[in-house]
Structure 1
Amino acid sequence: MEVTGRRGWDRVWSLRAPFGAAAALTAAVTFLAVVDPHEPGHYPVCPLYYLSGLYCPGCGALRAVHDLAHADLAGAARMNLLFVFCVPVVITLWARWALRSWQGRPTRPDIARPAYLWGLLVVAAVFTVVRNTPLGQLLAP
């Protein structure tokens, strides 16, 4: 498909938000790939873990990003399995956002539907409870 004329450049210009978000995310992942979160002192400790000794649903996510950036899927899953399962969902949602922007269609906030948000909250809560029990020891970072 050739991009010519005003309409073509409008299509290209409409991709600035999705690709701007992708560029920011790429910069963050690159930083995490270079500055190892496995080394103590590089990043602050999770406040919930620091105050209570309990793991939140995000604990281990920085280390999981570092491991994914180094193509260590098993290491990333050991750090935060929920995060690893969320990565393909986020990539799919981003691709859908970029496609809809390219097509000039409004981006619907499907992810913001109350049922989806409540479902995500329940999954995060269950994950948090299970990873802090002796039964879910394998889910702890």
Structure 2
Amino acid sequence: MTATGPAPHPTAPAGPPTGAALRAATLRRATLGLGIGTVGAAYLWHTNPHEPGHLLPGCPLRWATGLLCPLCGGTRLAYDLLHGDVVAAFHDNAALLVLGVPAAAYALGRWLTAGLRGRYYRLRLSSRAGAAVLGVAAVWMLVRNLVG
């Protein structure tokens, strides 16, 4: 104890981060994500997921049930996009290509822009938006499993 009161706990939060701290944290996270993404893309570039026998993650739902989940085909889609084959990427998972890739790019762009401006951005979906995403995913899963 000091004369003015108890000393602050060494792990107590110091308050909200400043703009400069948010910019630095955003740059660190973006650089780390870019590095990990580059390593993953380099591995995927040389590993064709259309051929069996490669060390690539499988879908647990497909493994357990034989059903295609809404994200099945995402690795093949990424491989085809890396090689510039948009038609094959569309065939791998049309909904993920048409809806998921732009949505992810938008959310990542908003986060990066806000962070580099020293502002905090958190993606928040309303209950309606969340229900719409789940509804589209459920319909896409049904369609791709029933149609084949």
TM bucket normalised to smaller: 0.7 to 0.9
Structure 1 residues not aligned, in runs of 5+: 1-6
Q: What is the match of residue 53 of structure 1?
A: 66
Q: How does 1:103-114 map to 2 (within 5 A)?
A: 103-110=117-124, 112-114=125-127
Give yes or no for contact 2:23–2:115 (8 Å, CA) kept in 1: no
CA distance in 2, matches of 1:126, 1:55: 12
Which of these residues, 36, 45, 48, is aligned with residue 24 of structure 1? 36
- Cα deviation for residue 98 of structure 1 reads 0.8
Look up the SS of the partner of 2:119 in the other structure. Answer: coil
Give yes or no for contact 1:11–1:102 (8 Å, CA) kept in 2: yes
- Cα deviation for residue 41 of structure 1 reads 1.8
Provide, for residues 24-43 of structure 1, a one-character-per-residue CA deviation record: whole Å limited to 9, x for no partner: 22322222122111110213
Q: How does 1:109-124 map to 2 (within 5 A)?
A: 109-110=123-124, 112-124=125-137
- Structure number with the higher helix fraction is 1
CA distance in 2, matches of 1:21, 1:118: 29
Greater shift in the superposed pair: 61-70 or 26-35: 26-35
Q: How does 1:1-141 map to 2 (within 5 A)?
A: 13-14=24-25, 15-42=27-54, 43-85=56-98, 86-110=100-124, 112-134=125-147, 137=148
TM-score by length of 2: 0.74
Give yes or no for contact 2:22–2:120 (8 Å, CA) kept in 1: no
TM-score by length of 1: 0.77
Q: Aligned-residue CA RMSD in angstroms?
A: 2.3
Runs of 4+ in 1 over 3 A off after TM superposition: 7-12
- Cα deviation for residue 10 of structure 1 reads 5.3
In the comparison of the two structures, how many residue pairs are matched?
A: 128
Paired letter, 2:24:
W
CA distance in 2, matches of 1:33, 1:17: 24
Structure number with greater Rg is 2
